[in-house]
Structure 1
């Protein structure tokens, strides 16, 4: 049957307002140095160097992946304080603008570059990766081993700063990747497993950070220490088989979903990335408020086994 004139206009309108989805140069959560070197210069590629200052000096100035833009993890605005809780996801319009200012469009393939020196530092990349994902941008990956792997592979290094023309990135928020207080509360009494990605000492209540008000963890949580997900000596992230062994050793059932947390949602992103993106477990959420938000209310339960 031939479409009517009005029907044709409606069809055109639907096509014109459909969101632009990113080109997938890769569907892998991690790429190696050889892959990145091969794709440098691709018009859809945006390389973001998130390395923080070391002893007051910006490592980007001393050398970086050619064409990479500089957006230091601790300073660019990837996280913010919300209602006195540190490390939270910024308001959508705010973080959307920051990402666009790095030259990111909805059809960009993003590669994130951490230093790769240790698990916690690599967590900057996993947190930024999660940020892109929760904002609806799937074409994002991390350089496995970070800049340490890039230089170990004797790849080209540049000292020329890159200033990107602003992109037109528009977020499509995915609430299913983010857990809030209510969902964590519900998980305590359900079959959803809570994964505390902090150190054993913090998990059992022997130590805590200054942003957390009580020693201990959320009731029913199990511990998978963040540093088990990364091999700084290689350097590289743990593979799917290794992560499956971590899950098995912790006695975690994955059928009904997982929620990862830590102190401020930084270390939790390492566990989230490993469980969701590398191993491929379905329905893994990140609680970015983590113990800092959870313990801000003294009525919320906390358990310690020290």
Structure 2
């Protein structure tokens, strides 16, 4: 990545709470809560370490006025796969997004109840299907409510729209490219999980402890202010990624457990102007259970 490209930052990928409150009456604006609730799986014999629940109940208890709810857990994931949160096929996605009211001429603001990882996942999915008018509410519902801004329990009234997909397949990748990248100096592979999971010394385990060989660690929550949940300033974000050698990588691959926190790292990289970024969609939910694929610890 050249320095010229590095200067091509995209602060417009975020909107602040002040701006959103002033623009809630915009007829072209579509605001969505994307929350999924994740907990450690109580079953020690379960294959995957986490269980997930839709955030709709929490949404119904209070949300940004006029906002709708995007069901990432079911409507925006491939439920035919045992792997959680895989990208759905184009027909499913087009139908779900159009039904929600997302289409040509609309501007979308995404948020979550706490950390922005779920909003970042939906943002990355929209990017992968060529929708370029999506933003994330900086700090999400937690910051909005902490500032005493208005809340509602009313149902969303967005009219259905025609969503047109223009696929960008380079936004996602699979295990073959990730495997080939292990010894490829031009590719930087980033693990978005907490340090203990990255090292294999603790935390949840997807099949096997550790990480994909050669990958570097940028924990998803290192990109946020711990008090507000807002993203760190661009200067600090760049320092974090520069510290792990993103530098002049020609290709960047982000992964995690199931493609969610990796999407958060990918979103931050997009804000910094990096273009050739992909999320390994199946991530360790696939890689960690395949004994033919290498892992490392420490």
Interval of TM-score (by shorter of Structure 1 and Structure 2): 0.7 to 0.9
Runs of 5+ consecutive residues of structure 1 not aligned to the other structure: 1-25
Asked if 1 retains the 8 angstrom alpha-carbon contact of 2:104 and 2:164, the reply is yes
Matched residue count: 273
- C-alpha separation between the residues in 2 aligned to 1:112 and 1:240? 19
1:45 to 29, 32, 41: 29
CA gap of 1:111–1:245, structure 2 versus 1, over 3 A, is same
CA deviation after TM superposition for structure 1 residue 221, in Å? 0.5
1:204 to 183, 199, 213: 199
Asked if 2 retains the 8 angstrom alpha-carbon contact of 1:49 and 1:71, the reply is yes
Asked if 2 retains the 8 angstrom alpha-carbon contact of 1:52 and 1:58, the reply is no
Runs of 5+ consecutive residues of structure 2 not aligned to the other structure: 1-9, 38-52
SS at match of 2:12: coil
- C-alpha separation between the residues in 1 aligned to 2:208 and 2:153? 45
- C-alpha separation between the residues in 2 aligned to 1:252 and 1:273? 15
Relative to the length of structure 2, the TM-score reads: 0.84
Asked if 2 retains the 8 angstrom alpha-carbon contact of 1:193 and 1:253, the reply is no
Q: Which of structures 1 and 2 has the larger relative contact order (alpha carbons within 8 angstroms, sep 6+)?
A: 2
CA gap of 1:259–1:97, structure 2 versus 1, over 3 A, is same
Relative to the length of structure 1, the TM-score reads: 0.82
SS at match of 2:190: strand
1:102 to 100, 103, 121: 100
- C-alpha separation between the residues in 2 aligned to 1:285 and 1:220? 16
- C-alpha separation between the residues in 1 aligned to 2:250 and 2:56? 45
CA deviation after TM superposition for structure 1 residue 56, in Å? 8.8
1:236 to 218, 226, 230: 230
- In structure 1, the residue matched to 2:45 is none
SS at match of 1:47: strand
User: 4+ runs of 1 displaced by more than 4 Å?
Assistant: 52-57
**Bigger Rg, which one:** 1
SS at match of 1:28: helix
